[in-house]
């Protein structure tokens, strides 16, 4: 019998990362976030082990007591703490040099207190570029017991119809001798928006009503004029395709040959991929979030499907809260791919698997046991 592999998740949000790690084979030992509606979503869909908590007031001792795991025994500690306060100008800077890195410091503190075998820290792709070099160096200084594996992942490579890029650092404790490798893409051909949305019926015409059979499938409240404007936009097009008489005032005198945020009033391509889904996906004015075939923005259900959430995953909260839970989530399929490689390393370390066939079979067995 393979042993149980356990995760603790910080800044868990609605559960995109947690769902992926669970599907990879990890048992959810604990998950916490300060956002109550997001935690409710997590509890209703994934685990009752999720709770509302402020990371600054939570100790490693509490989490170990909650899960019954001793220091050094936890398999993975994961999360996406905000770290906006790291600039490429700050050569030699430390994590504590900017107040905006406060939550990163709390994540680091909990890693030190828990001493997990692996940690996984997720953030925006920008941190994987020049700006992030100094962040990684500071992180190495803080967590000297870990080997870091930073990488920018394109979600489309892992089964999403979305080219969302995320910067993820996997940290492996130096006591783990088995190798970890950054997961290879799981698909050879990128999935399209049409493949993801083709089975969905249209949501009710009344924006106040959710589809009776499909959770969170509900129109945004859009003015008739904005619908009219959008009706002129072809797939892949944007505000420049709107006739002058119907354009916003700020677009009437804009130079159509350059600049001007081309994704505004953008319509998705049925046979293409969505760009990054953010919390503003229900508005034409915030990006390329127009349905490829219908004259409306994406519904929360459609955005969630493009993020890789299953169709029966229901988000709790008001419209604003649901939008941001979906937009802020780590795509579950990406989390699953990384989690599977971490689990593979742990199983090799335990001596449970030796070759590639055993790796695949062992991971399947562990994942099945956790369901």
pLDDT value of residue 248 = 79
Q: What's the rounded Cα separation, in Å, for the pair 132 and 94? A: 12
pLDDT digits (tens, 9 = 90+) for 321-370: 999 999 999 999 999 999 999 999 999 999 886 655 455 555 556 555 55
Q: Is the pLDDT reported for residue 198 higher than 50?
A: yes
The model's confidence at residue 124, banded by pLDDT at 50, 70 and 90, is low
Weakest-pLDDT range from 106-120, 153-167, 238-252: 238-252
Residue 288: pLDDT over 80: yes
Task: Give every CB contact of residue 244 below 8 A, 6+ residues apart in sequence.
Answer: 252
Q: What is the band of 306 on the pLDDT scale with cuts at 50, 70, 90? A: very high
Partners of 361 in the beta sheet? none
pLDDT (average), residues 274-294: 92
Q: Catalytic amino acids? A: 83
User: Taking the model in full, what pTM does it have?
Assistant: 0.89
Are 331 and 186 in contact by the 8 Å Cβ rule? The answer is no
The whole-angstrom separation of Cα 21 and Cα 156 is: 18
Domain residue ranges of the chain, discontinuous segments joined by +: 6-187+331-370
Question: What confidence tens digit (pLDDT) does each residue in 55-71 have?
Answer: 999 999 999 999 999 99
d(CA 311, CA 120): 26
What is the token pair recorded at 256?
């159509």
**What's the CATH number of domain 6-187+331-370, 3.40.50.300, 3.30.420.40, 3.40.50.150, 3.40.47.10?**
3.40.50.150
Average pLDDT, the chain: 89
- Residue 91 banded pLDDT, cuts 50, 70, 90: very low
């Amino acid at each position: 019998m393979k042993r149980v592999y356990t995760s603790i998740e910080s800044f868990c949000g609605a559960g995109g990362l947690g769902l992926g790690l669970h599907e990879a084979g990890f048992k959810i030992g604990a998950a916490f976030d300060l956002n109550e509606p997001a935690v409710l979503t997590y509890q209703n869909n994934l685990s009752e082990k999720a709770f509302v908590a402020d990371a600054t007031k939570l100790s490693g001792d509490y989490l170990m007591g909650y899960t019954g795991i001793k220091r050094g025994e936890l398999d993975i500690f994961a999360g996406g703490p905000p770290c906006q306060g790291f600039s490429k100008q700050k050569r030699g800077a430390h994590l504590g040099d900017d107040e905006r890195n406060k939550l990163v410091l709390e994540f680091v503190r909990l890693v030190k207190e828990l001493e997990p075998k692996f940690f996984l820290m997720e953030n925006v792709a920008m941190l994987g570029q020049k700006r992030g070099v100094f962040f990684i160096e500071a992180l190495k200084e803080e967590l000297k017991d870990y080997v870091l594996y930073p990488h920018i992942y394109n979600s489309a490579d892992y089964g999403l119809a979305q080219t969302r890029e995320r910067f993820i650092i996997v940290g492996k404790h130096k006591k783990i001798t088995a190798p970890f490798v950054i997961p290879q893409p799981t698909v050879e051909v990128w999935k399209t928006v049409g493949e993801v949305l083709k089975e969905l019926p249209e949501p009710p015409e009344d924006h106040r009503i959710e589809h009776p059979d499909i959770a969170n499938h509900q129109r945004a409240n859009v003015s008739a004029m904005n619908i009219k404007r959008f009706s002129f936009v072809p797939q892949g097009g944007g505000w420049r395709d709107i006739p002058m008489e119907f354009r916003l005032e700020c677009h009437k005198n804009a130079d159509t040959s350059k600049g001007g945020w081309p994704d505004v009033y953008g319509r998705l391509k049925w046979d293409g991929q969505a760009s990054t889904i953010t919390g503003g996906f229900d508005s034409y004015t915030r990006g390329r979030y127009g349905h490829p075939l219908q004259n409306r923005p994406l519904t929360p259900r459609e955005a969630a499907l493009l993020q890789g959430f299953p169709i029966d995953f229901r988000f709790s909260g008001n419209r604003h809260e649901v939008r941001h839970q979906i937009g802020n989530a780590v795509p579950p399929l990406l989390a699953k791919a990384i989690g599977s490689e971490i689990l593979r390393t742990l199983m090799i370390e335990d001596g449970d698997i030796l070759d590639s066939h055993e790796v695949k079979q062992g991971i399947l067995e562990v994942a099945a046991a956790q369901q």
